[in-house]
Structure 1
Amino acid sequence: MQWMIYGANGYTGELIAREAKRRGAAPVLAGRNGVSIAALATELDLPSKVFSLDAPTDLAAALDGTGLVLNCAGPFSKTAVPLMRACLAARAHYLDITGEIEILEGAHRFDAEARAAGIILCPGVGFDVAPTDCVALMLKTALPDAHELALGFETAHKMSQGTAKTLIESLGKSGKVRRDGKIADLPIGQGFRQIDFGCGVRRAMPIPWGDVASAYYTTGVPNIMVYTPISPARLAIARLTNVFGFVIQRPRVQAWLAARIEHNVVGPDAAAREASPTWIWGEARTPGGQTREVRFQCSNGYTFTVFSALAIVERLLATEFPPGCWTPAAIMGQEFILSLPGTTKID
């Protein structure tokens, strides 16, 4: 089956393309930047296509003969829905590496269409949200009566341009949690707790991470929060964005910030990725107060994304799976996290 990496010229897309080539795969490298795509395709001796997501007719032609698309082009608020619709029309599986709640939640609205088309939609096949999705399923399996899930991670790696652009889109917006099965607002700066993610207790803050959407579909648990450590300086900045969010969300300000990111942000090199692992934590709780906790150390988020995304691509290319909208753990199982290089469970 022919498959495609869209956004292959981006930071994470290029990492995935290089690893796919090393494994002997031959994905079509695609994106909007013709110069960058052509240069990478020539270097890796892989086929390529250049197309934007603005014209449905161009999309239909570009996906002709393609059986699977892995979307690595963020921010996914701009790329996911057009590519999902194109994949539905072309009857091609759709995967992406988003961690955006709106995309993960919205994909499930296409579930019936995906089943009718005989394809799989699975957003979040990278660090956002595959490792925490496995943790959520482990906890639900260990504690079937759980009605609360708390998930989280700790890391210190640098951001790529795509991650930074996604971050600025969220500045000034409310945090998100799931309460009684519904996604609800939680103002930034509320809901703190002390958490040991695996390397010592930290003060942690709820964040609008993708598991608020995806973990619900994986486990059915109706109350979900996601945490990460927060320093006093970062908390002060977050609270300022609450006050001035209406300014930050203006299109001209967003465009200016995006331009600064393109000029100044460079993703971590191999040495930096190797030196910055990630700690994953989760806790389940029943109405009666019974709890379970798990912790893992895994590779840097970008490295994890490369291995995770390609493993799910390889699974879908090699074996049949029921069509519809799925989460990574639902496709790969709760032990998937332990099958990836660099992952160890912490006692």
Structure 2
Amino acid sequence: MASEWMIYGAYGYTGELIAREAVVRGLTPILAGRDEARLIPLAAELGLDARAFPLSDAARLDEGLRDVAVVLHCAGPFSQTAAPMLAACLRTGTHYLDITGEIDVLERAYSLDEKAQRAGIVICPAVGFDVVPTDCVAATLAAALPGATHLRLGFDTRSALSPGTAKTTVEGAVGGTRVRRNGRLARIPMGSLTRTVDFGVGEKLAVAIPWGDVASAYRTTGIPDIEVYLPTSRSQIRGLRLTEIARPVLRLGAVQRVLQNRAGSRPGPSPETRAKRPMHVWGEVTAPGERRVARITTANGYDLTVSASLPVVVRLLSEGYAESGARTPSQLMGADYVTTLPGSSEMVLTES
């Protein structure tokens, strides 16, 4: 049985954070990616093996996953990279994890449940900030109010974006805002759905955003109506509505390339910045005449991604692990998983 594991996209902002913490914990991942010039120096510094190969060549991809039991896929935008890696994991019998928050990537991953079972592998996307905290909140709330019909989630963080996340955000603007209605994904105009939310630090105006939980939380809970919110301002809402008007232009390939190149040039947040900017997570479920609310404070999203992803790898590497199929983080690690991570408070569950 294969015992090696791999970080693909190890030289990206978040991939490198995970690789460095893995070494601190005594783990020895194989570092991988398509850019050998960026990959080899990092592997040499950390004393790890490296494999350079593209995702576009199926034969090289399969060879790259040789003897690999688990791949933690960190190379975004995942809309472009997840499909070939998922296909390769199914062919090679490799457990698949990633750190995406992209709705369509999550939906695709969950659609492979039967194939994953036949291949004897686990497919568990979004084992980081996208979407471990909110998924655990969703699972906790669903257990607290069986029969809930509406689930609303959200988070408050002032953290800057990494280059990869910024590129994904630019790409996501083309699709507009998405929610779940009666069990189905639905598009609504950007900036059109707002409400007031107390994320744990006082009430704030918030706007619905196209976040991965409209896929993952539905998989976890089966609640038919789901929305995800982020704090905003009146001026930002006006900007979102202008973006909605500009969507046909934003779809143009040349415009996307320019915007993504600019987004990818920014540095990720420093350790000092991350330490000063924790995340406040909120969730609410309702049923006729009933309501439950959950709140938790966690570490900054990037630090949480590092601390959340590595125990999932370790679990899948553990001797005798026999589960297979597509899973959400809370299904794989438990609804209380987020409370075990460094920087997390206890989850507070109330009726208001």
Into which bin does the TM-score normalised by the smaller protein fall?
over 0.9
Q: Distance in 1 between matches of 2:127 and 2:322?
A: 16
- Structure-2 separation of matches of 1:156 and 1:137: 25
CA–CA separation in structure 1 for the residues paired with 2:268 and 2:51: 24
Partner SS, residue 178 of structure 1: strand
Q: Give how far 1:321 is off.
A: 4.2
1:174/1:188 contact within 8 Å kept: yes
C-alpha distance in 2 between matches for 1:234 and 1:34 = 40
Q: List aligned pairs for 1:154-303, cutoff 5 A.
A: 154-263=156-265, 265-286=266-287, 288-303=288-303
Question: Is the Cα–Cα contact under 8 Å of residues 189 and 241 in structure 2 kept in the other structure?
Answer: no
What amino acid maps onto 2:295 in structure 1?
R
Comparing 15-24 and 184-193, the one that deviates more:
184-193
TM-score, length basis structure 1: 0.98
Counterpart of 2:174 in 1: which secondary structure?
Answer: coil
Once residues 90 and 214 of structure 1 are traced to their aligned partners in structure 2, the CA distance between those partners, rounded to angstroms, is 25
Alpha carbons of structure 1 residues 249 and 160: separation in structure 2 relative to 1, 3 Å: same
Runs of 4+ deviating beyond 3 Å: none
For the 8 Å contact 2:164–2:264, the answer to whether it is kept is no
Q: Distance in 2 between matches of 1:75 and 1:172?
A: 14
CA displacement at 1:105 relative to structure 2: 0.8
Deviation of 1:249 (Å): 1.4
Cα distance between partner residues in 2 of 1:229 and 1:28: 38
* Structure 2 gap segments, 5+ residues each: none
**Equivalent AA in structure 2 for residue 302 of structure 1:** Y
Cα deviation per residue 1:42-97 (whole Å; 9 max; x = unaligned)? 00000001111111111111111111100011100011111000000010000000
Counterpart contact for 1:198–1:346, Cα < 8 Å: no
Gaps of 5+ in 1: none
1:136-194 residue CA offsets vs partner (Å, 9 max, x unmatched): 00001111111111000000001000000000001232211111111111111222111
Q: Secondary structure at the match of 1:70?
A: strand
C-alpha distance in structure 2 between counterparts of 1:268 and 1:304, whole Å: 14
Q: What are the superposed Cα offsets for residues 8-34 of structure 1, whole Å, 9 maximum, x if unpaired?
A: 000000000000000111100001111
* Contact 2:139–2:220 under 8 Å retained in 1: yes
Q: Measure, in 2, the Cα distance between the counterparts of 1:45 and 1:346.
A: 38
Question: Structure 2: which amino acid aligns with 1:322?
Answer: E
SS in 2 for 1:345: coil
Pairwise CA distance, 1:261 = 2.3
Equivalent residue number for residue 340 of structure 2: 339
Displacement of 1:245 in angstroms is 1.0
- Note if contact 1:218-1:327 (Cα within 8 Å) is conserved in structure 2: yes
Number of equivalences: 345
Give the conservation status (yes or no) of the 8 Å contact 2:339–2:347: no
Sequence identity of aligned pairs in percent?
47
Distance 1:117 1:229 in 2: 42
Deviates more, 1:12-21 or 1:319-328: 319-328
Letter in 2 for 1:337: V
Q: How far apart in 2 are the matches of 1:321 and 1:192?
A: 43
* 1:280 counterpart SS class: strand
Cα distance in structure 2, aligned partners of 1:13 and 1:194 = 35
My pick for the range that moved more, 329-338 or 229-238, is: 229-238
Map 1:42-81; keep pairs closer than 5 Å.
Answer: 42-81=44-83
CA deviations 1:249-276 (Å, max 9, x no partner) are: 111111111222233x000111000000
Which moves more between the two structures, 247-256 or 86-95?
247-256
Deviation at 1:289, TM superposition (A): 2.4
Counterpart Cα distance in 1 of 2:231 and 2:111: 32
What's the offset of the Cα at 1:346? Answer: 6.1
- SS of 1:121's partner is strand
